[in-house]
Structure formats: C-alpha cells, structure tokens
Amino acid sequence: MTERLAILAGSGILPRLIQDIKSNCLAISFQGVEHSMAQPVAIHLVERLGAMFDALRAGGVTHVVMAGAMQRPRFDASQLDPFTAALLPDLAAAMGQGDDHVLRFLITLIEAQGFSVIGAHDVVNDLTLAQGDFVGTFPHELTQSLRRADHVLSALAPCDLGQAVVAEAGQVIGVETLQGTEFMLRCVAQTDPTLRVAGAGILVKRPKAGQDLRVDMPAIGPDTIDQVADAGLVGIVVSPETVMILDRATVEQRAKERNVFIAARAMTC
C-alpha cells in the first residue's frame, strides 16, 4: 500500500515545511482554526469528525501529522454527527484535564481509525538540536538560574502547565501558562527594573514529562529570539532533540544579530 500523509494544519511555518517535503500530502484543518498552508486545504467541522475520517480514507491517507499552533475551535452541538456525538463524554473528560489529555485523546482516536500518527520531526530533518551550544556559548555563571528553572518545570509537569520558565540571577520571573511563551515574555519585559538583574536572565524551554512529542513538541522560532531580546534576556536553553527550531537559518542569524545565545542542555534535575 502506498503511503500518503495528511497534515492537520495550524498556524506558523511548520505545516509549510512539511508540505515542501511531502508535495503529495493532503492538507486539512478545522473551521475557525488559522492555518498557514499554501495549497488548498480541506476544512472540516470539529463537530463532524466522522466525515473527516471518511475523507481521509477516501484520499488514501495512511499517516497523519499534526503541525502548527492550533487554538481550540468553537463547538456547536447542533452540528454533531453520530460519530462525534458518541465521543463527547470521553472528549469532555479529556478537556477537563488539560491540553495533554486532549492531545492523547486525539492520538488514540486517530489511530483507532486506522491511521498512523507521526511527528513533524519524523518528516523534516534538523528540526532539533544536539547537546551543546548552537549560537554563542552558555555562560557558566547562569547555571544556578538553569537549575532553578528546571526545578520549577519538573514540579509543574504533573499540573499540565506550560513548557517554559524564565529565570534570572537564580530567581524565577516568568512561568508559561495557557497564554503561551510570547505572553510570558511580554510580562517579563514589563517587570519593574528594580526587580531585574541585567545580563542574567534566560528562557528555558523543555517538553513536559511524559509529553507525546509527535503532536506537542515545544518550539522556538525567529520571533522567539526577538521576544527574548526585547525582554532583556541573554539566552535560551532547550532540551536536546526534543525542542523544534523553526526556520533554523533565520533563528541562527537573528540570535547572532541580537546577541542571544542558544544552547541545548539536558535537564539538570
């Protein structure tokens, strides 16, 4: 059987990177969800998942990759098909437990319909970093801040919160929640300067413990570099092989221009 990929697309550069590699892919998204695909995209209703799976099978799809930022679409119970209506109790239970549980539910659902779920990093080469320094050099004097950030990330992982922490001079000054990394960095930028220590702040971004990286691998891109620099931070630390670097060449150039180091380091705790 010939393999064919479907991209369940959200916003950002990642769906287009996959599209460039898999030109025969089928692009799909949900009504009300922003996407960045260049080719025609089949738009489905989240209330009619049965019809979506039928369309995937009719298109010869064997594998599904979920790529790009995707906000939760609005849900209209009057539009439900029988297939989706039968899922509601389990879906509601998953949504009540956080995004990780919703994503695990979707993976299980897609696989139960006969499709293989793969990660973007299985399609696009060089999306992650090996252990070491990527841009600049990680300053040894920031090790205490890195350890503090890692302790917080480890402690919060069971709570299904964000994937990023900002630490400065050994103190935590930002924790990512539902609003995302950009919102957190804006809050850091607005922090009273008397509470800050210049040249000592870092963004640490890692996957949560037990996170399924096929559908929710953390990522940084060129905009992240600007947001970090605008927040008065000096660098970014990510986990090796488990954080995507989107538009790698631009990220590298932007980081050099804005004097932001990028390093891949294993968890310190």
Q: Which domains does the chain have, with CATH numbers?
A: 5-122 (3.40.50.20), 132-264 (3.40.140.80)
Cα 201 to Cα 121: distance, rounded to the nearest angstrom: 29
Residue 45's pLDDT is 87
pLDDT tens for residues 106-115?
899 999 999 9
Residue 93's pLDDT is 82
What tokens were used for 198? Answer: 């210049």
101 pLDDT exceeds 80? no
Rounded to two decimals, the pTM is 0.85
Sign (positive or negative) of CA dihedral 79, 82, 83, 89: positive
Residue 51's pLDDT is 92
Three-state SS letters, the chain: CCCCEEEEECECCHHHHHHHHCCCCEEEEECCCCCCCCCCCEEECCCCHHHHHHHHHHCCCCEEEEECECCCCCCCHHHCCHHHHHHHHHHHHHHCCCHHHHHHHHHHHHHHCCCEEECHHHCCCCCCCCCEEEECCCCHHHHHHHHHHHHHHHHHHHHCCCCEEEEECCEEEEECCCCCHHHHHHHHHCCCHHHCCCCCEEEEECCCCCCCCCCCCCEECHHHHHHHHHCCCCEEEECCCCCEECCHHHHHHHHHHCCCEEEECCCCC
Task: Please compute the mean of the pLDDT values over residues 160-181 and round it to a whole number.
Answer: 92
Q: Return mean pLDDT, the chain.
A: 91
Sign (positive or negative) of CA dihedral 189, 193, 197, 199: positive
What proportion of the chain, given as a percentage, has pLDDT over 70?
98
**241 and 130 Cβ atoms separated by less than 8 Å:** yes
Task: Please compute the mean of the pLDDT values over residues 226-241 and round it to a whole number.
Answer: 98
